[in-house]
Amino acid sequence: MNVKTLLYESESLREAFGVIAHQWRQPLSHINALVSSMDNRLYELGVNDSVISKQLLDIEMITKEMSKSIDSYRGYFYKKEDKIKVTEFFENIQKSVEHTLKDKNINFNIKTDDTLELSLDETLLQEIIVTIINNSRDALVSRNTYEPFVNLSAWSEGGCLFIKLCDNAGGMSKSIMQKIFEPDFTTKHTSEGTGVGLFMVKKILDEKLNAQIDVKNVESGVCFTLKIPRNKDGK
C-alpha cells in the first residue's frame, strides 16, 4: 500500500501511523543512547572539542524534535484543545527551530500582539508551522539566498486569527504552487523527502483545526497564510 492510499483511508492511516511511531521510537532512543555513550567516552579520553560537543548536542536536540513530532501527529486521531497565548506559542516555535536556522545563518523574526489568544490543539498547530518553516529553510539554503530570513507574524481580523510565514527565497513557479498540497509531490530528491509534509499540513488544517491555508508569491519570496476561526462554529 503506497503513501497516497494510506493518507486517503483514515483507518489505514491510523494503523500505518501506529506502526511508524512504534518503529521510530526505538531507533530514536538508540541514537540518544549512542550520543550519551560517545560523550562519556570523550570525557574518559580527556577530549574537549567544542565542535564535537555542539554536534552531539544538535543530534540529541534533533532526535527530541522528531520524537515530539510523533506526539504531535498523534493529535490527528484525538480531539484536544489548548488555550494558547500566541506570544508564548511563537516563542516555543522559535526555540524549536532556532538551532537549524542559526546553523544556516537564517534570521527568524516574530511579530505579534501580546493580547492574542486562541483555543485549539497546540501540538498540531506547532507541527504545521514548523513544517512550513523547514520548507522555507530548505529553499533558502538550496538557492544560497543572500541575507536569508523567515518572518512569522499573527493578527486578529473578522473573528479569525491569521498567521503568516514569509521568506525571501525567491518564490515558486505557478506549476509548483498548484501542486504543493498534493500527496507525494516534492521538489526534493526521493532520498530527501516524500511530499507528505505540506499535504498533511493542509489535511490537518481542513479536518482537525477547521482552518484554511493560502500561499502566494511576494516581492522577495513566498508567504503562507493560515486563517483560523477563533470560535467553535468556524465563522
Higher pLDDT: 43 or 10? It is: 43
For the cut 80, the answer to whether the pLDDT of residue 76 exceeds it is no
Q: pLDDT tens for residues 175-211?
A: 999 999 887 776 654 334 434 588 888 988 988 889 9
Cα torsion angle, 126, 129, 134, 137, sign? negative
For the cut 60, the answer to whether the pLDDT of residue 12 exceeds it is no
Grid cell listed for 102? 542559526
- Per the document, the length of the chain is 235
For the cut 70, the answer to whether the pLDDT of residue 215 exceeds it is yes
Grid cell listed for 129? 508551522
SS3 content of the chain, % helix, strand, coil (to 5): 50, 20, 30
Residue 101 is given by DSSP the state H
Q: Spell out a b/e string for 43-81, using b for 16 or more CB atoms within 10 Å of the CB, else e.
A: eeeeeeeeeeeeebeeeeeebeeebebbebbebbeeeee
> Average pLDDT of the chain?
81
pLDDT at 230: 80
Percent of the chain with pLDDT over 70: 77
pLDDT at 41: 84
Phi first, then psi, for residue 111 (nearest 5°) are -140, 120
Mapping DSSP to helix (H, G, I), strand (E, B) and coil, where does residue 107 land?
strand
Grid cell listed for 49? 572539542
Query: Is the CB of residue 153 less than 8 Å from the CB of residue 110?
Result: yes
pLDDT at 71: 63
Higher pLDDT: 16 or 219? It is: 219
Arithmetic mean of pLDDT, 172-177? 91
Phi first, then psi, for residue 70 (nearest 5°) are -60, -45
Beta bridge partner(s), residue 228? 161
pTM of the model: 0.69
- Report the alpha-carbon distance of residue 107 to residue 12 in Å, rounded: 40
